[in-house]
């Protein structure tokens, strides 16, 4: 039931995730952050089986950090995404695979280009301009399809986010308590308030 | 007396030395010379083939210069048989990295992995260390062109111009004299000093200097393609491009720089 989507511009990515932690029909927590900072310029957003998501994301976080320490150099977003896909593909062929869907957002520090990767629980990966996971995808994809233009500005990106959230409020029976909106750009990661955008 | 500490690589002598490792390095200083020179837009590698006979069939591939990955080429000094094992390993390491991250392995990463392997044999298990030194020339997007030297103990270091094998100290002093370093003030504009950031050499200069050094260090009346191997790594369409010279191309290079190559005075 998680809502997770992201929009990539030329040098930024906006990542939006809901902050509810739920079990069956009960909401356990209202302020749960479903994103993980992998490096100063890479963010991993997860949804899926609650235990799996945290466990797998922390495993990835640890390994990406280990790489940076060993090589005194961060993995680029594309390298990070490929590494995650590779790990998930390995897990998928084990006896107990992780059930995790992910969005990897980042800015390459060599080229300054932003990129967004969508990885699902079957370890299928695609580099995309915008992406969504879970039930919320049924609602926000049409909005993003309609409004996305290549090379959009941050403000235009926020407008799409607002329309996506409106669509979710209007049509989705699940009521989300709050959303965490993060922007990854060349300056690093910044969190925005709903009222700010 | 010395034999007490010679037979195993894992034992220190009373002076705190590892003789087998030192002997391995000694063996390398008798092997065919390998020279690497870094320039602004590429790296030149050259190697000397020793003990050629007119009865010996020319091998099809190169004997001393090997491609390790799309972005790394290495020159070998020492036991070719030992080198083959290490080359094979590094090719596997590079491909594993590519499979995992979908990007070419950073040059230093590959060199370090290779040296870890070499170091292991000075401490554990085997009968002797690998009797091989490498000159690895490579390119990666972060640090550009880089040239690394490694020894049997597992040390590695980055150079603007380096030489291993026979007469390496002579060659190194010529390189030190002739190499055009970038000492201009704008060197500071590039924050990274690794790789090709601080050099004024062009590929042409590097090829020329290689020929000069070769002619002065190799003990022969005239250099020929039979005794030499050449390779370059440059950028082509923003991608690393490794070129291992054919014997015709080597002759062409030697002919072009014939005038600068004087037989050594001593």
For the segment A168-172, the average pLDDT, to the nearest whole number, is 94
What would the pLDDT profile of A97-110 be if each residue is shown by its tens digit?
999 999 999 999 98
Cα dist. A142→A9, A131, A132, A139, A147 in Å?
A: 18, 11, 11, 6, 9
Contact B99 A83 (CB under 8 A): no
Cβ(A93)–Cβ(A110) under 8 Å? no
In degrees and rounded to multiples of 5, residue A61 shows phi and psi of -55, -45
Structure tokens at B53: 């006979």
Residue B191 confidence (pLDDT) = 43
Give the mean pLDDT per block of 10 residues along chain B (266 residues): 64 87 90 94 93 72 91 95 95 97 96 95 82 96 95 95 93 92 54 61 93 88 86 96 94 88 56
Q: How many CB atoms are closer than 10 A to CB B116? A: 12
Interface of A with B in 65-104 (CB under 8 A): 71, 73, 75-76, 78-79, 82-83, 86
Cβ atoms A76, A120 nearer than 8 A: no
What ipTM was reported for this prediction? 0.87
Which sequence spans correspond to the domains of chain A?
3-196
* CATH C-level class of A3-196: alpha beta
Name residues 141-200 of chain B within 8 A of A (Cβ): 141-142
* A83/B100 Cβ within 8 A: yes
pLDDT digits (tens, 9 = 90+) for A6-42: 999 999 999 999 999 999 899 999 999 999 999 999 9
Q: Does A166 touch chain B (CB under 8 A)?
A: no
Helices and strands, number each (H, E), in chain A? 4, 12
- pLDDT of A78 reads 96
Please answer yes or no on whether B103 and A78 come within 8 Å at the CB atom. yes
Q: How far is CA B32 from CA A190, B51, B76, B257, in A?
A: 57, 9, 9, 21
B106 touches chain A (CB under 8 A): yes
In this complex, is the C-beta atom of A148 within 8 Å of any C-beta atom belonging to chain B? no
Tell me whether residues A71 and B106 touch, CB distance under 8 A: yes
**Are A86 and B142 a contacting pair at CB < 8 A?**
no
Q: What is the pLDDT of residue B187?
A: 43
Q: What is the pLDDT of residue B145?
A: 96
Q: In terms of DSSP H, where are the helices of chain A?
A: 50-71, 77-92, 137-147, 154-171
Which pLDDT band holds residue A75 (cuts at 50, 70, 90)? very high
Looking at residue B266, what is its pLDDT?
Answer: 47
Is B104 touching A (CB cutoff 8 A)? no
pLDDT, one tens digit per residue, over A37-74 is 999 999 999 999 999 999 999 999 999 999 999 999 99
Q: pTM (2 decimals)?
A: 0.88
Per residue in A117-147, pLDDT tens? 999 999 999 999 999 999 999 999 999 999 9
B contacts of A63 (beta carbons < 8 Å): none
Contact B142 A73 (CB under 8 A): yes
* Stretch A167-175: mean pLDDT: 94
Check pLDDT > 90 for residue A5: yes
């Amino acid at each position: 039931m998680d809502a997770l989507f992201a929009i990539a511009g030329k040098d930024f990515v906006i990542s939006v995730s809901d902050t509810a932690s739920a079990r069956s029909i009960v909401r356990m927590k209202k302020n749960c952050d479903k994103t993980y900072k992998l490096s100063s310029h890479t963010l991993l957003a997860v949804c899926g089986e609650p235990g799996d998501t945290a466990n797998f994301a922390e495993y990835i976080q640890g390994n990406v950090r280990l790489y940076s320490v060993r090589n005194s150099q961060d993995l680029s977003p594309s390298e990070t995404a490929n590494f995650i896909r590779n790990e998930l593909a390995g897990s998928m062929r084990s006896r107990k695979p992780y059930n995790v869907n992910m969005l990897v957002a980042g800015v390459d520090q060599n080229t300054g280009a932003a990129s967004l990767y969508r990885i699902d629980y079957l370890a299928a990966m695609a580099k995309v301009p915008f992406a969504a996971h879970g039930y919320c995808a049924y609602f926000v994809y049409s909005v993003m399809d309609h409004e996305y233009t290549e090379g959009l500005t941050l403000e235009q990106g926020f407008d799409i986010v607002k329309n996506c959230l409106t669509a979710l409020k209007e049509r989705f029976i699940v009521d989300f308590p709050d959303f965490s909106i993060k922007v990854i750009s060349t300056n690093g990661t910044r969190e925005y308030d709903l009222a700010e955008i | 007396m010395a034999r007490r500490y010679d037979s195993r690589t894992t034992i220190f002598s009373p002076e705190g030395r590892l003789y087998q490792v030192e002997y391995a390095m000694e063996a390398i200083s008798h092997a065919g010379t390998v020279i690497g020179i870094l320039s602004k837009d590429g790296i030149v590698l050259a190697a000397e083939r020793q003990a050629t006979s007119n009865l010996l069939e020319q091998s099809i591939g190169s004997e001393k210069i090997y491609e390790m990955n799309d972005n790394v080429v290495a020159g070998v000094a020492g036991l070719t048989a030992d080198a083959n094992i290490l080359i094979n390993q590094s090719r596997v390491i590079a491909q594993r990295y590519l499979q995992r991250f979908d990007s070419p392995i950073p040059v230093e990463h590959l060199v370090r992995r290779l040296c870890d392997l070499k170091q292991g044999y000075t401490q554990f298990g085997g009968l002797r260390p690998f009797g091989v030194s490498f000159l690895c020339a490579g390119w990666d997007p972060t640090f550009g062109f880089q040239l690394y030297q490694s020894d049997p103990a597992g040390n590695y270091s980055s150079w603007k111009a380096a030489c291993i094998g026979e007469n390496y100290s002579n060659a190194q002093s010529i390189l030190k004299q002739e190499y055009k370093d970038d000492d201009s003030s704008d060197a500071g504009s590039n924050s990274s000093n690794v790789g090709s950031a601080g050099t004024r050499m062009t590929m042409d200069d590097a090829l020329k200097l290689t020929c000069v050094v070769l002619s002065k260090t190799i003990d022969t009346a005239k250099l020929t393609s039979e005794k030499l191997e050449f390779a370059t790594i440059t950028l082509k369409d923003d991608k690393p491009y490794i070129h291992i010279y054919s014997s015709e191309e080597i002759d062409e290079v030697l002919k072009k720089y014939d005038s600068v190559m004087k037989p050594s005075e001593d």
